[in-house]
Structure 1
């Protein structure tokens, strides 16, 4: 059996924090291996990359997600008791609740709702001096997903609820005041959603039966019991928060359109397939989640390496999306590569790999793709705008990584107000 290459540093926590998206790949290159071991927060961790590593990482017989997320992430990004930390039959049963919300017609309804709200927002921007796109995209997505999910949201509350939802992913990995604001935002958000769940169960609020709010509030576990109201609030948040987090991808779409003017022109008269290829390349090329974590259930061997029981393992998502063995010229932004992509669920893994139904691949991936296409259509065919001088460098130290100045636009002009 081959010994797993081992980093000589006592602990790599700070090195990972300084370069979260590229740390694993850099160390893999240094070791000449897709597998190496290090210490993070003083615990031994095995790091892996590549499509074959992704295939084994999403083998539910070998890996567990229970108790894997660090406490600070559980208390901000995920919440406690949600589907991300479940395994086995309980996980599959809970995940089917989410998948029932992601039928073609329901996603289509969300897409049309988003298109209407984007058109209204673009019209508003035409009377503004400057627009910080990242924040405005968050507001659009908050309003969109709340209406779609059957979560009541007054216009006066959009700003507050947007700030709370955004804090959960913008500051999840932060240290200091930003982290504590994210913790407070999580408590406020869950209290709000818990109140909605309780009203639905009491019959004082009746959203349509096909909405997320109704379905989550009435979901029963494998024993036939309603979810605890607090857990139901966490799961309802697991529909809202990931959708609002697509704002990072939307800003990256705008960044790509600005950096590649020829692609923008091609999309003006583009087909649905052109938009699909564009957003898939944004998801491959730009950073979103740096890695995913799991824990070995029982010791096993893979490619001559031993993975001991209980050992935490990190899969390099960003590095796999940029692996030159899987992607031709991976550092080039080239949407055309997706015209003949084979759809391998272990090569394009910005939101996880494997099967949406059985594995821990994000069920909101389909929503993200459609929301990105709607926003790109608004940028290309719904308006024209100027991009003033600013710092457009992608901040790779930030999670999620976006342009330093959050992408500012000005002089917005509506192309077709009747849309």
Structure 2
């Protein structure tokens, strides 16, 4: 299928997360061709599409993102841009840093920051949960990584890391400003890398920043300081992005209060189911791009080397073939769910050990669970009247109010 319009860029901006799935539904297909920013692209969705896209080294990340997006979310030389042995070696670094034990250490720091009487959530006044969660996550990530956690550093890095997330899908001055601010963050990260190297530890690196500083690539060489700085940001930024999931978890608790008592008691199975449904149901990444590495065929379409392809992440998470009643928020579905790397794909599909799937999913789930348990077990936190709607044309999407919490009478609009 080929889209009716010669270029669909305006339609993408208008529809956002539902752009691909709406056209697939209209045509009764999982694949269509169009142009975005005048560049030909093939859009695909569904579990079979995810398996095709992520399996067998069929697609490269080279040329898969506009420069305005790539500079904020990846940048040159990062693990996402590598292939083959170079990718596997660098990916192992992130798999080690995202291990279950490491995830729990980070989550413990998050708990400590969240509940600290001086640094945690404000008391006695209303506050924007998204902003506060982002600040707390920045502090927890820096403490876990072995970086400074003074108030000035946390405020500044929270803002800069947040801009990378918020403006990656934007164009024009707001994107340019975020990219300009990123230069400052990269300089800070490079200084941290060089400082760690000057310390020259004679033992196994004790912190994530040391692990990155002394990591050796597939050729046995330490990473250039600027590349190591980029990878340090690729470790910190996704942690800060969990603030979006935390806000949606709070929204889900507000709209589904029958789950609140279950979750306040801290049953791990219920917390896990709720966190996974937050990740499935609410918008995070809309899609992911790749370029064909050779001549390929799927769903009746022949791909040539270099063809640009977008896989619909949000639409696949809402595909009724994989998820009965996908537009209903139902954590109980995960009590019987058989794990499938190509159906639950908010952070990518496939095998995280060998492919490009995000290695930090354990970290994401653990942080969401910790936040859910605390939000469910804090009756003093009320939800005042506010606009909790969110627009799927905005990427990333969030409740319009940012989600306000604080003392006072509960209520919402």
Give the TM-score normalised by structure 2.
Answer: 0.95
CA distance in 1, matches of 2:120, 2:110: 15
Distance in 2 between residues matched to 1:127 and 1:139, nearest whole Å? 15
Give the conservation status (yes or no) of the 8 Å contact 2:294–2:305: yes
Of 393-402 and 309-318, the range deviating more from structure 2: 393-402
SS class of match (2:407) = strand
Equivalent residue for 2:76? Answer: 80
Listed as ranges, the matches of 1:179-258 within 5 Å are: 179-203=175-199, 209-258=205-254
**Is 1:329 equivalent to 2:321 in the alignment?**
no
- Structure 1: gaps of 5 or more residues: 414-419
CA distance in 2, matches of 1:191, 1:208: 25
CA shift in 2, pair 1:208/1:128, >3 Å = farther
- Which residue in 2 is equivalent to 1:376? 372
Q: Is the contact made by 2:272 and 2:369 (CA closer than 8 Å) also made in structure 1?
A: yes
Does 1:90 pair with 2:96? no
Q: Please tell me whether residue 272 in structure 1 is matched to residue 273 in structure 2.
A: no
Say which SS state the counterpart of residue 385 (structure 2) adopts: coil
Distance verdict in 2 for CA 1:68–1:124, change over 3 Å: closer
Post-superposition offset of 1:126: 5.7
State the distance in 2 between where 1:158 and 1:104 align.
Answer: 25
The alpha-carbon distance between structure 1 residues 70 and 123, as it changes in their structure 2 partners (threshold 3 A), is closer
Contact 1:321 1:350 in 2 (8 A): yes
Alignment-derived partner of residue 44 in structure 1? 40
C-alpha distance in structure 2 between counterparts of 1:236 and 1:126, whole Å: 29
Aligned position for 1:167: 163
1:58 to 54, 61, 65: 54
Q: Per-residue displacement from partner, 1:94-120 (whole Å, max 9, x unpaired)?
A: 000111112222222112111111112
Q: How far apart are the structure 2 equivalents of 1:195 and 1:208?
A: 21
* Kept after mapping to 2: 8 A contact 1:299/1:306: yes
How far residue 61 of structure 1 moved from its aligned partner, in angstroms, is 2.9
1:101–1:211 CA contact under 8 A, matched in 2: no
Match of 1:99 among 95, 99, 102: 95
Give the drift of 1:79.
Answer: 2.1
User: Could you say what secondary structure the match of 1:399 adopts?
Assistant: coil
- Do 2:264 and 2:374's aligned partners in 1 also have CA atoms closer than 8 Å? no
User: How many equivalent pairs are there?
Assistant: 409
Verify the 8 A CA contact 1:317 1:349 in the aligned structure 2.
yes
2:27 matched residue in structure 1: 31
TM-score normalized by structure 1? Answer: 0.94
SS state at 2:116 partner? helix
CA offsets 1:237-267 (integer angstroms, 9 cap, x no match) = 0000000000000000000001111112332
Per-residue Cα deviation, 1:121-170 (whole angstroms, up to 9, x for no partner): 69954633211000000011000011001122312321111101100011
- Could you tell me how far apart the structure 2 residues matched to 1:96 and 1:13 are? 36
Instruction: Tell me the distance in 2 between the aligned counterparts of 1:391 and 1:299.
Output: 49
Correspondence 1:366 to 2:400: no
CA contact (8 A) 2:68 2:171 kept: no
CA RMSD of superposed structures (Å):
1.9
What residue is the counterpart of 1:312 in the other structure? 308
Three-state SS of the structure 2 residue aligned to 1:8 is: coil
